[in-house]
Structure 1
Amino acid sequence: MASIFLTGATGYVGGQVLHELVRSHPDYTIAALIRDGDVAKRIAEAFPKVRAVVGDLDNAELIEEEASKASVVLRKYPANLATWTGTDSFWVQISGASALAAGELASPSFKPGSSSSQVYDDVDDMAAIRSLVRAHPSRVVDNYVLDVAGQKASIKTALVLPPIIYGAGEGPGNKRSFQIPVLCKVALERGKAVKVGEGLSRWGNVHVGDLGRLVAALAEAGAQGKQDEALWGENGIYLTGVGEVTWEAIAQKIADKAHAKGLIAAAEVEQLDKPESDAVLPAADVLFGSNARSKARRGVELLGWTPAEEDLDAEIPRALAEEVERRGNQRQKPATVTNVEGFRAPTKPLLDNYPAIHRHYR
């Protein structure tokens, strides 16, 4: 019987993955790392067959112990797996598509909100994607996964790089994404939508339901013991963008919908440049001003992944309505890097602290 160990089960993506695994594979034995005992009780109520492991991400000994029991490990943040000695174990790491922007973000000439013609294909451009990650040690999580892939043949790794994630999560904890809700929040507070710089930078996007199914498909491949080199290791990097759009277009969609609903006075988009963009939007350059363009073929061609959820256009009115409801339920403060729910501003320079960003916005 397949055994799965999952971290981040109360998070947006991790919760969706847990939901999908329980739905599609009730026969799996699943253990989930939960930081709080009360939350563990809620997990048990929602998913009676899931074993809650109470602990946190800093408890490397506990994580390594649970990982050693599992045939597949699904993680959102790495532990030291040096002592993980399981035979033919599978590790799926969820990171983020900002990896594709590492080059421009590190460039002195980078201008937030500018366009780029660089598009990464996760079949044809695998070597280029690996080289990009390797060229930027600041991508700590991603480099660690590649290190394990090259050094421990007994561990089959997969690295998943989601772009903008949208849609209502179906997990037991956080059901909200980050980027689109933040832009809706700021638009309602300022009376106009915003973009970073000219807003010409582009990111891919994927519905959380489709993303959950891709990760579940990888878990299933591991549970079945599939050893295909194209699936794992240095070849196992999965891009997940289904659509692609500029940040300017997203901002205009928010402005149009908010104005049509009478939430703002005019369907206007305000350009934010430094330092204002950094004060208004969390990690503005990375999450709203960079380019993460991709073609997601690997999951489709190797795992039969078929994205089927509604597109990003349907998310805008839903996210706006949700933010209006939230504003009615609590007193709001201006959106800054220190008070957006679920995000803590990095204490180290941004390019040295990517894991913190991934950890808080997923």
Structure 2
Amino acid sequence: MYLSKPEVFSVPIRYINFDILGIEKNDIKKARHHVFIGVILPNQRESRWVRDKEAMEREARLREVNIKIEFNDFNIEKQRIAVEKLISEGVNALIITSIDNGDEASLVDKAKESGIKVIAYDLLIKNSEVDVYISFNIIRVGEFQGRYLTKNVPKGNYILLSGEPSEGLLREGAMTYIQPLIFMREIRVVTDQVVKGWDPDNAFKIVEESLAKSGNRVDAILAPNDAIAGASIKALENQGLAGKVAVTGQDADLAAIQRIIQGTQSMTVLKDSRELGKVAIETAIKLVEGKYIDYNAIKNNGKKDVPSILIEPIAIDKSNLYTTFKETEYYKDGF
């Protein structure tokens, strides 16, 4: 279930009026030294996650709170070890990027049993007692991808790729545009496959096999993110098809921007992770301090309605690439 709320509203978790209690701002800063935020991100290979890490560390310094960041490398065992390690080290807020929608609920339970506030970051943790979900408007990302493909390639053979662990709303958004044309037999799906672990090597093999199976008759590739888009384009290059097949993406990685300029990748979606990381740290502090949480949506994770903060993404192609990055200063050093 996905319910979008038109206006920002608040969850009254607990409110402390520091003025009434006679607590000075300096005392608040001192108290913040006791805020210890643990974070688990997927990896440091992709620039997307490097930006999240840097944004969180920067915001933690500005807010004068302690932070420790671990990485799970899309491995559930590493995720478990990282969660247990951060709990043992005494964090009072935990920001987790989900990689497995089954086992992680038990990890959330462990944290909650220790009185730790838990934020699901980027992907919602299913059937869990998370306090808040923070992400981009993922369904909008999928809509951008599907709309671009169907507008520019309304007929032809499609390869549909999705990541695992999956974000159902990403797929749902894209298929809003693609599925009607499949029903009308304007679009023929030659491959519809999951890329395990969001691994570019797996994506390369899938696209390579799809091209061989179809005799290179492919017109569009729905790639869920830029890393998978890059791998798909490598497979296309091997067949002399790079730039001739529409390929989507997500994350606005530097390599993807360069591919768009070169004409081998069609579009990407900018999700300014600087803002996402900043909001995550702000929210973690509010949870620990018992303050109101402003949210703009509710998402049901199978167990509860989770207050959610969803940030809007920006679709990027050649037509708006330069103006978008000039306005956002996302790549200050150019590309």
Q: What is the TM-score with the length of structure 2 in the denominator?
A: 0.39
Larger radius of gyration: 2
- Structure 1 or 2: more strand by fraction: 2
